[in-house]
C-alpha cells in the first residue's frame, strides 16, 4: 500500500510514450495499430488511476508526494533557496481528476478509432490525444503551481493542435480552422498571464510554489482514522501511517493527537457523519486530529502557510514595495481568476471555446467539454484555502467569482437558445455549465463544484460523442443520397463539415435545420443522447440532477440563511440558467431526433458503428449512476440504503475548507423547485417545437413569432461578443501594430533618424577630419604621406562605405599587432628555454 503512489509517474510517461511512438512511427503502422497504441496508453493510465484510488481510499486521508524518476529537481538556484521540483501529488483531489481524465479519455479514444477511421492523419490524431492526456495529467498531479502551469500550457498547445487539426482543408475552411486554433491559444495566453503573475507573487510571499510539502497534512481540521499502539504508556501514532509516502524531503512529518479527550465519542461523531457507520472501530484504530506543528511555518507549502499567516497583519516585502499579506492573497486570487476565465471559458475570455468546435468531435468531447476546460475549476478548488481565508477575512472575492460564474452561466445559456449548429449549442452549454461550477466555488461550495465537474464530464462527453454520431450519420446520409452508395473517397471529405459552420457544397451536416426524425434512423444514439439531455437538464435521477441540486442548495443556504449577496445572486441566476439549459436541450432533441426528417441526408442517415456506440452506451450507463457518489443526507429512499456524502468525505482530506464549511442535508423544496423548473422548461420547449419543425424560410419558431423574434436574433448573433472584441481589441491592436512598425520604427527610427543623425554625423566627422588634409597643411609638410592621406580622405568622402573600409584596414593592422603581441611572450619563453 505504502508504495502504490510510486506508480503515479506512469500516468504521464505511458501516454507520452504513446504520443511519441504514434507521432514518429505512426505512418509505418496499419491504422488499427495506431489506434491500439493510443487506446492502450489511455486505458493503462486509467488502470493506474484506479490503483491510486485504492491507495487514497485505503489509507484514510492519505496523500503522497512523489518525485518522478529520471528528473532531478527542476528550477533550482541553491544560493537563494529557489527550488521548484518535478513533483507529483497523489491525494483525493488529484485522483478524482485523474479518474475523470483517463476514464472519459479512454472512452473517447475508443470512440475516435471509429470516428477518425480513414483520416490520413489518423496516427497523428492519436499522438496528439495521448500528448493531451500526458499534459492534462501533469496538470492535475503536479504538486506545485509551476508544474500545474506546465500542464496548463501544454494542454493549451494540444488544444491548438487539435482545433486546427484540419488546417489543410480547402480555403476558407482550413484557414478558419487554423484561425480558431490560434484564437484559442492566444486567448488562453491572456489567462496564462494571470497565472504567471500569481506565481511570481506566490513565490515572493511564501518562498515556495508547492501546494503542500512532503510529509505535510493538507487538512488539519479533518478527523483521521489511524492505527495507534501503546508505547511507554503514551499513545503513539503507528509507524506505517505516520508519514505520507515518499516524504523524503523532510524529516518532520505531521503529528497526530487524540481528539478531545474521548476518542470513542469522536469516532462516533465521525461515524455519525455516515462515513464510518458500518465500520466498527478496531481497538487500535482511533479517530484523531492531526496537525503540522512539527513544521516550521516557512517550510510548509503555500496553503499551509496561508492558514497560519492569514489575518495576522503581516507585511510582505517585495524589495521595492511592501504589501499587507492579506492583500497579496487577494491579488493572487484575482490573477488566478484571470487564468480561470481563460482556460475555463468564463466572461470575459470565453470567446475561444465556441470557435474551438472546429476541431474533430472527439476533441470537442475530451478537451473542450470534459477535461481541459475544467482545469480552471480544478485550480480554484485546489486554491480553496486562499478563497476561504479571503471570504472570511472580509474580502469579497467570493462575490466576484460568483458574478463571473453566474454571469457566464446565464449568458452562455441564453446564447445556446439561438444556435443552429448542433456542436455550438453544446459548446455554449459547456460554457454555461462551467459557469455553474465557478459560481459554486464563489459561494464556497467546493465539493459541489467538483461534483458537478465530474458528472458534467460524463454526460457532456456523452452528448458530444452523440452529436458526433449524429453528424457522422448525416454525412453518410448525405453521401448516400447524392452519390447513391458510399464512394471510396468518402473519407476525403468526411471531415469537411465538422468545422466552424462551414457548408461545403451548400450542405452543413452540423446544422440542425438539416436534421429531424433521426430517432428512427439512429435509435441507440437517440436513447443515449436523451439520457445525456435529461442529465444536463437536471432531471431526477440522472447525474446532473444531483450535482446541480447541490450547487443550488448551497447557493440558497448562502443567500437565505447566511444573508450573503453572492448566495442570492447565485441562486437566482443559476435557476434561470438551469431553465435555459432544459429548454435549449429539448429544442435540440426535437430538432434533431423527433418530428420528420428535413433533408434527404437525415432520411438516409445510418446508425453509427459499434466502435462508436459502445462508448456511448458506457457513458450513458455512468450518466445514470455517477450522481449517486454524493447523495446528500436525508434524501428520501436513498438515505436508508446508501452512504451519504461519499464524495465529500473522499475529497475532505485534500480540502481544508470542506471541514470548515457546512454540510447541507437534502432540501426537498429546492430539489423540487429545480426539478419542476426543468420539467416545465422541457414541456414548454416541447409545446413550441414538437410537431412543427421550423417556421417558414427555415427560421426558428421563436424567430417567427413577434415578441420573441428580437430575443432569438440576439441569441443567434451570440450577443455580438465577437464583433465587440474585434472592434475594441483586435482592430486597434492591429492598427497600432502597423503604426508602430511602419511609421515609428521604419519611417522615423530606421530611415529618418539614421539618415539625418547617424549618417550625417559620420559624414560631418569624416569631412572635418579630412579637411585639414585637403587644405594642404600636412600635404605640404610631408609630401608622400600627405598624398596618401589625401587620397584616403577623398575616397572616404566619395564612397559612403569609405570610412568603413578605412576602419577595416585599421582594425586589421590592429589584429596583426595584437596577434604578434600575443605570440611574443611565447617566442620569448621558447627562446629562454632554448638558451
Q: Does the footprint of another protein cover residue 729 (CB under 8 A)? A: no
Q: b/e string for 748-769 if b means 16 or more Cβ within 10 A?
A: eeeeeeeeeeeeeeeeeebeee
Select the residue interacting with another protein from 44, 46, 125, 167 (CB under 8 A): 167
Longest dimension (CA), the chain: 119
- Assess 758 for contact with another protein (CB under 8 A): yes
Which residue blocks in 508-660 are alpha helix, DSSP H? 518-521, 523-536, 543-556, 565-592, 600-604, 610-625, 638-641, 646-652, 656-660
- For the CB of residue 307, give the shortest distance to another protein in the complex, in Å: 23
Pick between residue 197 and residue 711 the one whose CB is nearest to another protein. Answer: 197
Residue among 28, 32, 189, 264 that touches another protein (CB under 8 A): 189
**Residue 8 CB, nearest approach to another protein (Å):** 18
From CA 241, how far away is CA 70, in angstroms rounded? Answer: 27
20 binds another protein, rule: CB under 8 A: no
Q: Which is nearer to another protein, 1 or 740 (CB)?
A: 740
Phi and psi at 396, nearest 5°, equal: -100, 30
Residues 666-695 that bind another protein (CB under 8 A): none
Q: Is 504 left (phi over 0), alpha (psi -120 to 50) or beta?
A: beta
d(CA 697, CA 96): 48
Nearer to another protein, 785 or 808 (CB): 808
CA distance 589 to 347: 28
Residues 759-798 binding another protein (CB under 8 A) are 759, 761-762
Piece in contact with another protein (CB under 8 A), picked from 210-218, 244-252, 512-520, 742-750: 742-750
540 touches another protein (CB under 8 A): no
For residue 88, the cross-strand partners are 66, 142
Determine the 3-state secondary structure of 693 from DSSP: coil
How many Cβ atoms from other residues are within 10 Å of residue 204's Cβ? 14
Out of 45, 107, 201, 372, point to the residue binding another protein (CB under 8 A).
201
CB of 244 to another protein, least distance (A): 25
Residue 831 binds to another protein (criterion: CB under 8 A)? no
Question: Can you tell me which of 280, 313, 706, 825 binds another protein, judged by CB under 8 A?
Answer: 825
Nine cell digits for residue 470: 449524429
Question: Any contact of residue 728 with another protein (CB under 8 A)?
Answer: no
Out of 264, 785, 800, 827, the residue judged to bind another protein by CB under 8 A: 800
Report the nearest approach of another protein to the CB of residue 238 (Å): 37
197 touches another protein by CB under 8 A: yes
- For another protein, what does the binding mask look like between residues 303 and 332, x meaning CB under 8 A? ---------------xxxx-----------
Q: Is the peptide bond before 649 cis (omega within 30 degrees of 0)?
A: no
User: Is residue 17 near another protein by the rule CB under 8 A?
Assistant: no
Rounded CA separation 719/711 (Å): 10
Q: Which of 562, 818, 827, 830 binds another protein (CB under 8 A)?
A: 818
Instruction: Name, in order, each residue with C-beta under 8 angstroms of 130's C-beta and a sequence gap of 6 or more.
Output: 15, 16, 18, 19, 22, 37, 38, 41, 42
Q: Strand, helix or coil at 421?
A: strand
Q: Would you tell me how many other CB atoms lie within 10 Å of the CB of residue 4? A: 20
Q: Give me 743's grid cell.
A: 511609421
* Shortest reach from residue 329's CB to another protein, in Å: 15
Nearer CB in complex with another protein: 668/813: 813
Binding another protein (rule: CB under 8 A), the pick from 1, 28, 32, 186 is: 186
Question: Can you tell me which residue has the cell 470557435?
Answer: 355
CB 374 within 8 A of CB 344: yes
What is the nearest approach in angstroms of another protein to the Cβ of residue 69?
13
SS3 category, 655: coil
Q: Which of 153, 216, 421, 554 forms a contact with another protein (CB under 8 A)?
A: 153
Nearer to another protein, 822 or 831 (CB): 822
Count of CB atoms situated within 10 Å of the CB of 83: 17
The residues, any chain, with a CB within 8 Å of residue 410's CB and separated by 6 or more, are: 432, 435, 573, 574, 576, 577, 580
Judged by beta carbon, residue 340 or residue 613, the one nearer another protein is: 340
819 grid coordinates: 596577434
**Which span (90-98, 181-189, 415-423, 443-451) binds another protein, by CB under 8 A?**
181-189
Q: Does 754 bind another protein (CB under 8 A)?
A: yes
Nearest 5 degrees, angle CA 820-CA 822-CA 824?
65
725 binds another protein per the rule CB under 8 A? no
- Name the CA radius of gyration of the chain, rounded: 33
Does residue number 178 form part of the binding site for another protein (CB under 8 A)? yes
Tell whether residue 40 is a contact of another protein (CB under 8 A). Answer: no
Count the neighbouring beta carbons within 10 Å of the beta carbon of residue 358. Answer: 31
Q: Which of residues 54-113 bind another protein (CB under 8 A)?
A: 71-80, 82, 86
Selected range binding another protein among 261-269, 270-278, 413-421, 800-808, rule: CB under 8 A: 800-808
Binding of another protein by 821 (CB under 8 A): yes
- The single residue among 625, 727, 829, 830 that binds another protein, judged by CB under 8 A, is 829
- Residue of the chain from 232, 669, 696, 738 that contacts another protein (CB under 8 A): 738
Q: Does 23 engage in binding with another protein (CB under 8 A)?
A: yes
Nearest residue (CB) to another protein, 783 versus 800: 800
Write the Ramachandran bin of 70: left for phi over 0, alpha for psi from -120 to 50, otherwise beta: left
Smallest gap from Cβ 79 to another protein, in A, equals 5
Is residue 402 within 8 Å of residue 442, measured between CB atoms? yes
Count of residues near another protein by CB under 8 A? 79
Minimum CB separation of residue 128 from another protein in Å reads 11
For residue 511, what are the β-bridge partners?
A: 421
Closer Cβ to another protein, 197 or 714, answer by number: 197
Spatial CB neighbours of 51, under 8 Å, sequence gap ≥ 6? 4, 7
Q: What angle do CA 548, 553, 556 make, to 5 degrees?
A: 125
Nearer to another protein, 492 or 742 (CB): 742
The nearest distance, CB 91 to another protein, in angstroms, is 23
Binding of residue 192 to another protein (CB under 8 A): yes
Asked if 196 touches another protein (CB under 8 A), the answer is yes
CB nearer to another protein: pick between 153 and 244 = 153
Residue 711 engages another protein in binding (rule: CB under 8 A): no
Facing residues of 227 across strands?
Answer: 285
Amino acid at each position: 500500500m505504502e508504495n502504490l503512489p510510486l506508480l503515479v509517474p506512469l500516468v504521464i510517461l505511458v501516454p507520452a510514450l504513446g504520443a511519441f511512438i504514434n507521432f514518429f512511427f505512426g505512418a509505418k503502422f496499419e491504422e488499427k495499430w495506431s489506434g491500439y497504441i493510443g487506446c492502450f496508453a489511455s486505458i493503462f493510465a486509467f488502470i493506474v488511476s484506479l490503483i491510486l484510488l485504492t491507495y487514497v481510499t485505503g489509507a484514510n486521508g492519505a496523500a503522497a508526494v512523489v518525485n518522478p524518476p529520471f528528473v532531478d529537481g527542476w528550477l533550482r538556484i541553491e544560493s537563494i533557496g529557489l527550488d521548484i521540483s518535478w513533483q507529483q501529488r497523489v491525494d483525493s483531489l488529484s485522483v478524482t481528476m485523474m479518474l475523470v481524465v483517463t476514464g472519459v479519455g479512454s472512452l473517447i479514444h475508443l470512440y475516435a478509432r471509429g470516428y477518425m477511421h480513414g483520416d490520413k492523419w489518423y496516427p497523428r490524431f492519436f499522438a496528439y490525444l495521448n500528448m493531451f492526456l500526458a499534459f492534462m495529467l501533469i496538470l492535475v498531479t503536479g504538486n506545485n503551481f509551476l508544474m500545474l502551469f506546465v500542464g496548463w500550457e501544454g494542454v493549451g498547445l494540444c488544444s491548438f493542435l487539435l482545433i486546427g487539426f484540419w488546417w489543410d482543408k480547402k480555403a476558407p475552411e482550413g484557414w478558419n480552422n487554423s484561425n480558431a486554433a490560434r484564437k484559442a491559444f492566444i486567448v488562453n495566453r491572456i489567462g496564462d498571464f494571470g497565472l504567471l503573475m500569481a506565481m511570481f507573487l506566490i513565490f515572493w510571499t511564501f518562498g515556495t510554489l508547492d501546494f503542500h510539502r512532503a510529509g505535510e497534512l493538507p487538512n488539519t481540521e479533518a478527523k483521521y482514522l489511524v492505527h495507534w499502539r501503546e508505547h511507554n504508556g503514551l499513545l503513539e501514532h503507528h509507524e506505517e501511517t505516520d508519514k505520507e509516502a515518499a516524504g523524503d524531503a523532510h524529516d518532520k512529518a505531521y503529528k497526530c493527537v487524540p481528539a478531545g479527550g474521548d476518542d470513542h465519542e469522536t469516532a462516533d461523531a465521525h461515524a455519525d457523519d455516515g462515513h464510518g457507520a458500518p465500520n466498527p472501530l478496531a481497538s487500535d484504530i482511533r479517530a484523531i486530529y492531526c496537525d503540522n506543528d512539527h513544521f516550521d511555518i516557512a517550510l510548509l507549502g503555500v496553503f499551509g502557510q496561508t492558514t497560519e499567516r492569514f489575518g495576522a497583519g503581516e507585511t510582505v516585502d517585495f524589495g521595492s514595495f511592501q504589501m499587507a499579506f492579506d492583500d497579496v492573497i487577494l491579488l493572487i486570487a484575482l490573477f488566478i481568476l484571470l487564468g480561470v476565465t481563460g482556460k475555463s471559458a468564463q466572461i470575459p475570455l470565453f470567446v475561444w471555446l465556441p470557435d474551438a468546435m472546429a476541431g474533430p468531435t472527439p476533441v470537442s468531447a475530451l478537451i473542450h467539454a470534459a477535461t481541459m476546460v475544467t482545469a480552471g475549476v480544478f485550480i480554484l478548488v485546489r486554491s480553496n484555502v486562499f478563497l476561504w481565508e479571503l471570504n472570511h477575512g472580509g474580502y469579497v472575492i467570493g462575490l466576484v467569482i460568483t458574478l463571473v460564474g453566474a454571469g457566464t452561466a446565464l449568458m452562455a445559456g441564453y446564447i445556446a437558445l439561438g444556435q443552429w449548429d448542433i456542436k455550438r449549442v453544446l459548446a455554449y452549454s459547456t460554457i454555461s455549465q462551467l459557469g455553474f461550477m465557478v459560481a459554486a466555488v464563489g459561494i464556497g461550495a467546493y465539493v459541489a463544484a467538483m461534483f458537478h465537474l465530474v458528472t458534467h464530464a460524463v454526460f457532456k462527453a456523452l452528448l458530444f460523442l452523440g452529436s458526433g454520431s449524429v453528424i457522422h450519420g448525416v454525412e453518410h446520409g448525405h453521401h448516400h443520397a447524392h452519390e447513391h452508395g458510399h464512394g471510396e473517397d468518402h473519407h476525403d471529405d468526411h471531415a469537411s463539415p465538422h468545422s466552424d459552420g462551414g457548408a461545403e457544397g451548400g450542405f452543413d451536416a452540423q446544422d440542425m435545420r438539416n436534421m429531424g426524425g433521426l430517432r428512427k434512423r439512429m435509435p441507440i444514439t437517440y436513447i443515449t443522447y436523451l439520457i445525456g439531455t435529461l442529465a444536463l437538464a437536471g432531471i431526477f435521477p440522472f447525474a446532473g440532477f444531483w450535482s446541480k441540486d447541490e450547487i443550488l442548495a448551497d447557493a440558497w443556504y448562502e443567500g437565505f440563511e447566511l444573508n450573503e449577496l453572492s448566495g442570492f445572486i447565485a441562486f437566482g441566476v443559476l435557476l434561470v440558467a438551469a431553465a435555459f439549459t432544459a429548454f435549449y436541450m429539448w429544442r435540440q432533441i426535437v430538432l434533431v431526433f423527433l418530428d420528420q426528417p428535413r433533408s434527404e441526408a437525415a432520411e438516409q442517415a445510418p446508425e453509427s458503428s459499434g466502435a462508436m456506440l459502445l462508448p456511448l452506451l458506457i457513458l450513458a450507463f455512468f450518466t445514470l449512476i455517477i450522481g449517486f457518489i454524493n447523495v446528500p443526507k436525508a434524501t428520501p429512499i436513498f438515505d436508508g440504503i446508501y452512504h451519504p456524502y461519499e464524495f465529500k468525505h473522499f475529497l475532505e482530506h485534500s480540502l481544508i475548507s470542506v471541514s470548515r464549511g457546512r454540510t447541507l442535508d437534502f432540501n426537498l423544496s429546492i430539489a423540487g423547485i429545480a426539478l419542476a423548473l426543468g420539467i416545465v422548461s422541457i414541456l414548454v420547449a416541447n409545446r413550441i417545437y414538437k410537431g412543427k419543425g421550423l417556421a417558414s424560410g427555415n427560421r426558428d419558431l421563436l424567430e417567427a413569432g413577434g415578441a420573441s423574434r428580437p430575443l432569438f436574433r440576439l441569441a443567434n448573433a451570440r450577443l455580438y461578443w465577437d464583433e465587440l472584441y474585434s472592434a475594441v481589441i483586435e482592430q486597434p491592436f492591429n492598427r497600432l501594430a502597423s503604426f508602430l512598425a511602419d511609421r515609428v520604427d521604419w519611417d522615423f527610427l530606421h530611415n529618418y533618424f539614421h539618415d539625418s543623425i547617424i549618417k550625417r554625423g559620420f559624414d560631418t566627422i569624416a569631412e572635418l577630419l579630412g579637411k585639414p588634409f585637403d587644405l594642404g597643411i600636412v600635404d605640404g609638410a610631408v609630401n608622400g604621406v600627405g598624398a596618401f592621406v589625401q587620397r584616403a580622405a577623398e575616397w572616404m568622402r566619395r564612397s559612403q562605405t569609405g570610412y568603413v573600409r578605412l576602419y577595416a584596414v585599421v582594425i586589421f593592422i590592429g589584429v596583426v599587432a595584437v596577434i604578434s603581441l600575443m605570440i611574443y611572450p611565447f617566442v620569448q619563453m621558447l627562446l629562454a628555454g632554448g638558451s
